[in-house]
Amino acid sequence: MTTPPNTPAEDGRGAEAFTMPIQRVGPFTFPLKDADRLWAHNNHGQTLERLRERGGMSWCEMAAIMEWRRWEPMNQASARARCEEIARARGEK
């Protein structure tokens, strides 16, 4: 597994908008970085597109991908706040 050299909150240059269903919540759109794809595969063994087709993920799973780290349980409200913070930092309003 390769760890990206930059941090998840860096600007969203080159990022495309991507929408992921969050289980029991609804869609979440965020600026997608290449490292997000890497971490989705590291944590789930599947692409983001396949995870979306299968119904999405929880906030804590999404936070792990956006923070570029291994998944671990966390409070869903805290995970949602972290996802929204990273999305804003990447340029999502």
pLDDT digits over 1-40, tens only?
444 434 444 444 456 899 999 999 999 999 999 999 999 9
pTM: 0.80
Quick one: DSSP state of residue 46?
A: S
Instruction: Please choose, from the candidates 13, 51, 60, 49, the residue with its C-alpha nearest in 3D space to the C-alpha of residue 33.
Output: 13
Q: What is the Cα–Cα distance from 15 to 26, expressed in whole angstroms?
A: 22
Q: What is the Cα–Cα distance from 8 to 88, expressed in whole angstroms?
A: 11
Residue 91 has pLDDT above 50, yes or no: yes
